[in-house]
Amino acid sequence: MKLSGARIFLECLKREGVDVVFGLPGGAVLPIYDALYDFAGLKHILVRQEAAAGHAAEGYSRTTGKVGVALVTSGPAATNLVTALQDAYMDSIPIVAFTGQVPTHLIGNDAFQEADNVGITRPCTKHNFLVKDGSELGTIVKEAFHIASTGRPGPVHVDLPKDVLVKEWEFHYPERVHLRSYNPTYEGHPGQIKKAAKAMLRAKRPVLYVGGGVISSDAYRELLKLAELTQIPVTTTLMGLGAFPSEHPLSLDMLGMHGTYYANMAVYNSDCLIAVGARFDDRVTGKVEFFAPNAEIIHVDIDPSSISKNIQVHIPIVGDARRVLAKLIEAIKEEVRDDVPSIVREARKQWHAQIAEWKARFPLRYDWDDEVIKPQYVMQEISNLTRGEALIVTGVGQHQMWAAQYYRFKYPRHWCTSGGLGTMGYGLPTALGVQAAHPDMLVVNIDGDGSFVMNSQELATCFESRLPVKTVIINNGYHGMVRQWQEIIYKERYCSIDLSASPDFVKLAEAYGCVGIRATKPSEVVPALEKAFVTPGPVVVDMMVDREEDVFPMVPAGGANKDMILDRPGKAVKERAAKSQTGF
Amino acid sequence: MQNGTEPRKHTIAVLVENRFGVLSRVAGLFSARGYNIESLSVGETLDPTVSRMTLVVRGAEFVIEQVIKQLHKLIDVIKVTDLTEENHVERELVLMKVNAEPANRAEVLRTVDIFRAKVVDVTPTTFTLEATGDEQKIDAIVELLRPFGIQELVRTGKVAIARGSKARVRRSEEKLGKAKAADGALSQDPRIVGFAD
Ligand SMILES: Cc1ncc(C[n+]2csc(CCOP(=O)(O)OP(=O)(O)O)c2C)c(N)n1
């Protein structure tokens, strides 16, 4: 059967099970949009800027486990998309992005809207393709989805020259693809698993340190089982939030730079650290010499290059987190045939008591104020009102950290935040992608006033495509996180952080056809949130919060996690913090 | 990371899909991570769909291990072998145009003979020479001929091949605790067996 390249492209998406595409048209992809005109079974959501198409695909992917799809034109559209690709790459999010390209005979001629798309996206994708021959289109699309979603997931980019889309080709979509050069390891090495099981049972002060890999491999059930079986406390990274219920007695919440005191102390004092689907990122480890210095380290990861990259690992296990954890549970049961929990509970009594003491001594805390809204309070109320059932998305900055600290996570795949890249502007477009995948669920975008304006144009997409995202802007009139660093580390030399000249966000929301609500006093927080959550359609809440609140605990970049700043610091601590800056 | 922190030269053989863009993926990996390639040569293998690159890289043990893992991670890379760890043969080729005034011609030819090099072009005042050998041999012939005046010189990168026929232990993968299955699947590909090791 002969079809145009554009039509083949759409047929491929359909066969891949794609139900929604986030995109924005232009010259080079017009053949696709023309074919889309009367193509049934594929929904297209028109975003207002191409990065938003990429982020929306990320949100779709993170909350469904399926591959998200973005479609944009050549040149400037492709370069706009780059931020989202790098974002997805850093956080291992499977998306496939399609860009248009000038016709093959013009490639390299500086044609109108030409850019070296594959050259530009090469370092920020797991893999990319330039389709030069339309008869390969089906295979390439299949390979793109395969590569994005298997092994360590990630973004894949496919560049589509216009003539390939226009010409007719024999349509062929392979059932499966085999790439001889790409064979991810899923099963962990049995010998290593046995070793790990022994080490975990032997340990007196073990900690499970889990990251986004547990979520992407859907290993949360196995994680819960393993933690309860072995009575090992669990701390998660920013990417791993939701992999373990926050309310669980074994939960240590988040670790790292803005993690809890008890998580960091537990890791620092541990004698066995079991890292699962986490990559020892510098925001987690702080100064590596002081990260779990006395622990035997077990590392389960699907990507061999993550192992022993930053920290020397003693028991590496390459494999899929879910499968390895399942085998680990078996191995532990085999080691101890009796009732494991009662035995380990006895052995870990002291450790659990120590952790309880840390928790009691330095819980997450903030000072209440009757007049000024504390951002942490807003997070607590969002958590209460949604009962941890909502899909939460954030921008980047202080509000992101407060959300991570104070939201009580119940489920995996309910949390989208830009972890590795820290992309401001991530919130709203990601949230609309989440909402497109879950039309009937409550999607809350917790944003900063700085982050929000980087993609606030997407309110138009929310309005037009009936995506009722609820955005809560934690409005402190500052680039708050930058202000915090300037305050604590740069001796209060404030520079280029004031955002008090931002637009009126209530009016802005209304201008886009959305509902705007403002809260200025603590007593208005709950009513404003309640109203936002029950109002149909997209809503923006302008939450006027304490302008100078800081995120604590905090470890200055490059510092040791055991030296956390727990509260607004005095002069001596600031000077120490300034010194600890080691070029981060 | 206590041991193996001394930088050392490694010769790495990389089998890749013979496609456009692969070289830039490999080169990009090195530039993005600040690794330096000392030499690089690429050519087709017996199977025209596969190319083989020989890379010479200097680095401490853990850096090289990371380089190898990153190479593995590239989708178009079929196999990576650190030849430094085993018995192997390395060769380079040099072409050079050497001044050969009548007074020196005999002396230059004698050197050519000693090194089993070849004269591939002659003019009344120059010889163009070809020599192959390992790095030390090439360095030596260049040094000996330098006094006569070398007008132009070109060296290929290194190419290398393991001795013998037995499959080797995959050291780094074992170290990682990687299961065997994927490995087996790979070497079952008839096009790869035979020259991969
Ligand atoms: C695209 C981008 N530019 C700059 C930064 C650096 N940066 C990190 S946090 C931050 C301030 C964020 O301000 P806001 O969104 O208002 O959040 P707040 O910290 O006030 O909660 C900046 C500028 C970034 N992370 N991303």
* Token couple for A450: 């700085």
Residues B181, A320 contacting (CB under 8 angstroms): no
Residue A53 CA to residue A33 CA, distance in Å, equals 15
Using a CB cutoff of 8 Å and minimum separation of 24, what contacts does A381-389 make? A381/A525, A381/A526, A381/A529, A382/A407, A382/A444, A382/A446, A382/A472, A382/A529, A383/A407, A383/A408, A385/A526, A385/A529, A385/A530, A385/A533, A386/A442, A386/A444, A386/A533, A388/A246, A388/A414, A389/A414, A389/A442
> Is residue A543 flagged as an active site residue?
no
Do the beta carbons of residue A279 and residue A309 sit within 8 Å? yes
Structure tokens at A383: 């958590």
Q: Is A501 within 8 Å of A525 (Cβ atoms)?
A: no
CA distance A115 to A106: 11
Q: What backbone phi and psi angles, to 5 degrees, belong to B178?
A: -80, 140
Rounded to 10 degrees, the C-alpha dihedral A49/A55/A57/A60 comes to -130
Q: A151 is written with which tokens?
A: 């092994």
Contact yes or no for B178 and A318 at CB 8 A: yes
Question: What pLDDT, on the 0 to 100 scale, is given for residue B178?
Answer: 63
Of the residues B73, B180, B183, the best mutation for testing chain A's interface (the one with the most A CB atoms within 10 Å of its CB) is B73
A290 φ, ψ to 5°?
A: -105, 15
Known catalytic residue at A50:
yes
The pair of three-digit structure tokens given for residue A331, joined into one six-digit string: 């191995």
**In this structure, which amino acid lies at residue A454?**
M
Distance between CA atoms of A570 and A556, rounded to whole angstroms?
14
DSSP-assigned beta bridge partners for residue A272: A206, A296
Specify the DSSP class assigned to residue A221: H
For residue A302, give both structure tokens: 């699907």
The answer, yes or no, to whether any atom of ligand 1 lies below 6 A from the CB of A480, is: yes
Helix (H) or strand (E) holding B30: helix B22-32
pLDDT at B179: 53
Give Cβ neighbours of residue A423 (< 8 Å, ≥ 6 apart): A55, A83, A84, A87, A396
Block mean pLDDT (10 aa), chain A, length 584: 96 97 98 97 97 98 98 98 98 98 96 96 97 97 98 98 98 94 96 97 96 98 96 98 98 97 98 98 94 97 94 96 98 83 82 97 96 98 98 98 98 98 98 98 98 98 98 98 94 96 98 98 98 98 98 91 89 77 48
* A257 tagged catalytic: no
Say if the Cβ atoms of B32 and A309 lie within 8 Å.
no
Strand order through the sheet with A43-46: A43-46, A20-24, A68-72, A95-101, A156-161, A127-130
Ligand 1 pocket member A451 (CB < 6 A): yes
Query: What would the DSSP string read from start to end of A239-284?
Result: TTTTSS-TTSTTEEEE-STTS-HHHHHHHHH-SEEEEES----HHH
Backbone angles phi, psi at A171, to 5 degrees: -85, 125
8 A C-beta contact, residue A272 and residue A199: yes
Mutate one of A125, A129, A181 to test the B interface: name it (highest B CB count within 10 A). A181
- The region, left, alpha or beta by phi > 0 then psi within -120 to 50, assigned to residue B47 is beta
Mutate to test the pocket of ligand 1, among A421, A426, A481 (most ligand atoms within 8 A of CB): A481
Let me know if A180 is exposed, middle or buried by CB neighbors in 10 A (0-12, 13-18, 19+): middle
- Ligand 1 centroid–CA A473 distance in Å is 13
Q: What is the mean pLDDT of residues B160-176?
A: 63
pLDDT of residue A337: 74
Going across the sheet that includes A415-416, the strands are: A415-416, A391-394, A443-448, A470-475, A539-544, A515-519
Q: What single string gives the DSSP state of each residue in B168-187?
A: PP-HHHHHTTB-SHHHHHHH
Q: Could you give the CA distance from residue A173 to residue A195 in angstroms, rounded to a whole number?
A: 44
CA–CA dist A434, A345 (Å, integer): 40
Beta bridge partners of B17: B50
d(CA A305, CA B176): 10
Query: Sign (positive/negative) of CA torsion A561, B66, B56, A116?
Result: negative
Looking at the predicted structure, is the pLDDT value of residue B174 above 60?
no
Task: State whether residue A185 sits within 8 Å of chain B by CB.
Answer: yes
Atom 23 of ligand 1, nearest CA residue: A479
Give the alpha-carbon dihedral of A23, A25, A29, A34, to 10 degrees: 100
User: CA nearest A223: which of A283, A295, A270, A274?
Assistant: A274
CB–CB contact A188 B177 (8 Å): yes
Inter-CA distances, A256 with A86, A202, A297, A309, Å: 23, 26, 17, 18
Give the amino acid at A7.
R
| CA–centroid distance, residue A422 to ligand 1 (Å) | 8
Angle at A303 (CA atoms; ends A429, B39), nearest 5 degrees:
105
Q: What are phi and psi of A97, to 5 degrees?
A: -115, 130
pLDDT at B186: 39
CA distance B21 to chain A (A): 9
Element (H, E) at B129: strand B126-133
Q: How much is the pLDDT for A351?
A: 97
Q: Enumerate the residues of chain B whose CB falls inside 8 A of the CB of residue A123.
A: 28, 32
Separation CA A234–CA A273 (nearest Å): 10
Q: What is the pLDDT of residue B4?
A: 64
Q: What is the pLDDT of residue A581?
A: 61
Q: How many helices (H) and strands (E) does chain B have?
A: 6, 9
Nearest to B182 among A183, A190, A315 (CB): A183
The answer to whether A380 is a known catalytic residue is no
Instruction: Write the DSSP assignment of B97-114 as a string of letters.
Output: EEE--TTTHHHHHHHHHH
**Active site includes A481?**
yes
pLDDT at B36 (0 to 100): 85
Q: Within 13 A of B46's CA, how many CA atoms are on the CB side?
A: 7
Are residues A182 and B70, on separate chains, in Cβ contact within 8 Å?
Answer: no
**Residue closest by Cα to atom 20 of ligand 1:** A480
Match 């470890």 to its residue by tokens: A555
Reading the block at residue A235, the tokens are: 């701390």
CA gap B141, B120 in Å, rounded: 16
Query: Could you count the other beta carbons within 10 Å of the beta carbon of residue A192?
Result: 23
